[in-house]
Chains A and B, each alone.
Chain A
Amino acid sequence: MMLARVADSLYWIGRYVERAEHLCRLSDVMLNATLDRNEAAGLVSRIVLSAVGDAELHSADDPYQLAMALALDRNDGGSIVSSLSRARENARQVRDQITTETWERLNLVHLRVTGHDAPRAFNDGASAFLHDIIADLHLFKGAADATMSHGEGWRFLLLGVHLERAQLIGRLLEACFGVRRAPDDHMALMSVLRMSCALEPYLRRFTSDVQGRKVLEFLLLDEEFPRSMRFCTARIEEYLGSAARPAEASSHTAPERLAGRLRARLQYADMEEFDGASGLIASVLDDCAALHQSIYDTFVAYSLETRLPA
C-alpha cells in the first residue's frame, strides 16, 4: 500500500537523479573533448547541445561556460543543480518512505552543488567536481538498493530511473545518429560511448574497433548493458509487472501492455533491417513518452469515480 502522491514523488526522484548523473557525464566528456582543437571537438559540443535540447539557448562557442551553466545555473530548470534540488525536494516530501541512509546520500550531494563554494569547486577542477557528483549519485542508488525494501516504493524509484535513462540515451542517439549519417570520427564515437558510460563494456564486446553502427547497436539493443534502451525497457516491464494492480484491472494495466510491447520491439529488432535508425529511435521515444503518461494516469491521477466503494 502506497500513497499515489508518494509513488509519484519516488518516481520523480528516480528521474531527476538519473538526469543529473547523465548531465554530469555529458558536461565532463564535452569539456574533455574540447581540450583538443580539432573538428571532433566541435562535433562533440554540437551533439551535447542537441542532446540536452538547448541548441538555441546556449552557444557552443565556449564549452566551459556552457558546462558551468549546465552544472550550476539555478535559473535553468534543466541544469544539474536544478535536477538535484528537485530530487531532494521530492525526497523531503516522502522523507518517511526512504531510509535515512538513502536520504543522507541525496542530501549530501544536494549540499555539495548548492553550497556557497560550489562555483569555486567547479572552477578549481570541473572534472573532479562532476566526478564527485556522479560518485555521490552512485552511492545514493547503492544505498537505496542496499537499505530500502525492494517493494512498491523502490520499484517506483527505479521505474523513474530507467524510463528517464531510456529517454536520455534515446535523445543522445537521436542527436548523434538521427539527422545525419552516423559519424565515423573515432573521437566523436568514443565521446558518445563515454557519455553513456559505455566505453569499457563496449570495448569488451566489440574491441577497440569503434564503428558508428556498432555503437548504435550496443546502446540501442544490447541485452546486458544497463544503459542500453533494450535493457531499460526490460527493467521497466519487470517493475510494472510486479506492481500491485488496481482492483478493477483484471489482467494487465495499460502501462504494462505498453512496456511489454516496447521491450519486445527492441528485443527482436534486427539491425540489418533498418538503414537509418532515426525512425526507430523516434518511435521508441514516443513510446517512452506514452508510457510516462500512462503510468501517471493509472497510478497517480486516476479518476476517483472508478475507485469509490460501491
Chain B
Amino acid sequence: MATQDPDCAPGATTAPPAASPYDEMLTAEGGVRAHYAGLHQRIGTLAAAELAERQRTLERYFLLQGITFTVYGGDSSTERIIPTDLLPRIIPAAEWERIEAGLTQRLRALNMFLADIYGAQQILMDGVVPRELVLGAPSYRREMQNLYVPHEAYANVCGSDLIRQPDGAFAVLEDNLRVPSGVSYMLANREASRRTFPGSFRAAGVRAIDRYPDLLLATLKSMAADWRPNPQIVVLTPGVYNSAYYEHAYLARLMGCPLVEGRDLVVHDNMVYMRTTTGLRRIDVIYRRVDDDFIDPLTFRRDSALGSAGLFNAYRAGNVVICNAPGTGVADDKAVYAYVPAIIRYYLGEDAILPNIETYLCREPTQLAHVLGNLDKLVVKAVGASGGYGMLIGPHASRQEREAFAAAIAADPANYIAQPTIQLSTAPCLVDGEIEPRHVDLRPFILSGEKIVVTPGALTRVALKKGSLVVNSSQGGGSKDTWVLESAPSETQP
C-alpha cells in the first residue's frame, strides 16, 4: 500500500466492489442527465425497427469502407468489422476540461520521466521509483540511454485508458505509450454517427475531431523541425496481416504520407531510404506502428522481418526520428503505473488531476499476501501482457481459475499486479433491438511533440456481453462514438 497516495485516488479505495455502476445517461434516481436529454428524447421517438435499420446501415458502412480487423484462428483468418454501437456516449464540457488538463499533466510528467530514465536517472537516485523496477522491466531499452530526443517528446502518440468510477470521477486505468491503436475507429465512429443522428449531433454542439491526422502530421513534423526543414515522413506498418492495418493505411492516406513496410526500407551509411520506382529516397521521420522488438533485427529481435536492419543505428546517429521513441513502454509498465502520481509530483510539484486506480504490487511481500488472500475481490494482471490477455477477474473467476492464478503469482510475484474490481460506468447501447446499459471505458488520444495536444474526442470501448467488464476488441468488445460537448446543450431541439 506504500505506493498509493490516498488523496490521489478518491473513491477508488472507498468504493466497495458491489457499488452499482455510474450510468452515463441516467442518474441513480432514474432521471436523464441534462447533457443526454436531446439524444434520449430522439431515441424515444424512433421505433425499434428503425433503430435496427440504422444499426444495419452503420455496419454496412463499415464493411464497405473495409474498416475491419483480422481474427486469427486455426489456419484461416477472417476479416470482421469491429462491433460498433449506434448510440454515442456524451461527455459534457466541464468534465472534458478536467480530463484534458489531467492528461496533459500526465503526459508532461511521463515524457520528463522517460527523458530522466534514459538520461541522468535522477528519479532513481532520489528513490522515488525503485531502480530495479525500471531497469529490470522488459520494456526498458538500454540502447536508448543518452540519446537526443527532440522536445524530450518520447511518447508522441499516447492512448490512455480512462474509466469512470461509481462516484462519477474519472481515473486512469492504464497508459498506452508504445503503439496505441484505435484512433481510426474514433474517426470512423464519428463519421457514422454524424449520418445516424444528424439532428441531435448538430443540436448538441459536438467538438470536431477530424483534424486529428493533421495534428498528428504537425506533431511528427515538429520532431524533425530543427534539422530538416521539409521532412519526409512515412508510416511504418507490419503489413496487411496486422490487425490494425486498416488504421495504418487510414492515417497514411489522411496525412498524405507513404505507408511503408520493412521491406521497402534500406539503410545505407546510417541514412534510411525507401525504394521508389525511380530509386532511393531519404526518410526523416518514421511514425512506426511496429513494436520496439521488431523495428531492427540488428539491435532487437534477430528473427524480425518487420523492421529494417540498421534502422536503430541510423536513429542513434540522428539521421532519422522514430516515433514513438523506442523504450517508451517502460513508462506504461503495469508496475511503474502505480508510481505515476508520485512521478507527477516529483517532476511537476503538482497532485495528479486524474487519479490512478489503487494498485497492489505483488513484488512487495506484504502486498502479495493481501492479493493472495483476496483473489476473489481483485483483478490481477500480468505486468508484461496487454489486450485483456493474462488477466484474472477474481469475482467472475471459478475456484480452479483462481487457484491456478495463485500458483502462477506465487511462482513469479514480480510479474503481477492487482487492482480492486472497479465497476466501469455504463452507457446505453443497442443490443438485439433493445436499449440496455453496457460497461464502457474511454480512450482519448494525446499527441506530444513541440507541444501536447489532447484530441477533443475519444474511443469509447464497450463490453457488449451483459455484465462483462472486458472491453478489448480481441475479447468481444466493441466501440461507439464519443461526443465531447462545446458547452451545455442548447435548450431548443430542431
Binding site for B on A (CB under 8 A): 1-7, 89, 92-97, 100, 103-104, 107-108, 111, 152, 156, 243-247, 299-300, 302, 304, 307-309
Contact A309 B268 (CB under 8 A): yes
- Complex Cα distance, B266 from A304, in Å, reads 9
Contact B280 A95 (CB under 8 A): no
- Which residues of the other chain, B, contact A247 by a CB distance below 8 angstroms? 278-279
- Complex Cα distance, B281 from A308, in Å, reads 10
- Complex Cα distance, B153 from A62, in Å, reads 68
- Complex Cα distance, B63 from A103, in Å, reads 12
The smallest C-beta distance from A144 to any residue of chain B, in angstroms, reads: 15
Contact A93 B240 (CB under 8 A): yes
Contact B275 A5 (CB under 8 A): yes
- Which residues of the other chain, A, contact B66 by a CB distance below 8 angstroms? 92, 95, 103, 107
Contact B240 A309 (CB under 8 A): no
- Which residues of the other chain, B, contact A156 by a CB distance below 8 angstroms? 277
- Which residues of the other chain, B, contact A104 by a CB distance below 8 angstroms? 64-65
Closest to A9 in B: B240
- Contact stretch, chosen from B24-32, B125-133, B254-262, B429-437: B254-262
**Residue in A94, A95, A103, A152 whose CB lies within 8 Å of B277:** A152
- Contact stretch, chosen from B93-101, B245-253, B291-299: B245-253
- Which residues of the other chain, B, contact A308 by a CB distance below 8 angstroms? 268, 280
- Complex Cα distance, B45 from A11, in Å, reads 51
Contact B278 A3 (CB under 8 A): no
Contact B64 A3 (CB under 8 A): no
- Which residues of the other chain, A, contact B252 by a CB distance below 8 angstroms? 96
**Main SS at interface, chain B:** mixed
- Which residues of the other chain, B, contact A2 by a CB distance below 8 angstroms? 276-277
* Total contacts A-B at CB 8 Å: 83
- Complex Cα distance, B273 from A308, in Å, reads 9
The smallest C-beta distance from A90 to any residue of chain B, in angstroms, reads: 9
The smallest C-beta distance from B168 to any residue of chain A, in angstroms, reads: 40
Contact A95 B64 (CB under 8 A): no
Chain B interface size range: 20 to 34
10 contacts between A and B (CB under 8 A): A1-B281, A3-B274, A4-B275, A92-B249, A95-B66, A95-B253, A107-B65, A243-B277, A308-B268, A309-B269
Contact A96 B276 (CB under 8 A): no
Known: A307-B279, A308-B280. A5 touches B268 (CB 8 A): no
Contact B276 A3 (CB under 8 A): yes
- Which residues of the other chain, B, contact A245 by a CB distance below 8 angstroms? 278
Q: Is B228 an interface residue (CB 8 A)?
A: no
Q: Give me 15 other A-B pairs in contact (C-beta within 8 A), A96-B259, A108-B64, A246-B278 excluded.
A: A1-B281, A3-B258, A3-B260, A3-B275, A3-B277, A5-B261, A95-B253, A96-B235, A104-B65, A244-B277, A244-B278, A245-B278, A246-B279, A304-B266, A304-B275
**Residue among A6, A89, A245 with the highest chain B CB neighbour number at 10 A:** A6
Contact B277 A309 (CB under 8 A): no
- Complex Cα distance, B245 from A94, in Å, reads 11
Contact B266 A89 (CB under 8 A): no
User: Which B residues, 216 to 255, have Cβ-Cβ distances below 8 Å to chain A?
Assistant: 235, 239-240, 245-246, 249-250, 252-253
- Which residues of the other chain, A, contact B266 by a CB distance below 8 angstroms? 304
- Complex Cα distance, B275 from A152, in Å, reads 15
Known: A95-B253, A96-B252. A4 touches B276 (CB 8 A): yes
Q: Is B214 an interface residue (CB 8 A)?
A: no
- Which residues of the other chain, B, contact A92 by a CB distance below 8 angstroms? 66, 240, 245, 249
Contact B63 A111 (CB under 8 A): yes
Contact A100 B65 (CB under 8 A): yes
- Which residues of the other chain, A, contact B274 by a CB distance below 8 angstroms? 3
Closest to B252 in A: A96
Contact A299 B64 (CB under 8 A): no
Contact A7 B277 (CB under 8 A): yes
Closest to B256 in A: A96
Q: Is B50 an interface residue (CB 8 A)?
A: no
Known: A95-B249, A95-B253. A89 touches B276 (CB 8 A): no
Contact B263 A5 (CB under 8 A): yes
- Which residues of the other chain, A, contact B277 by a CB distance below 8 angstroms? 2-4, 7, 152, 156, 243-244, 246, 299-300
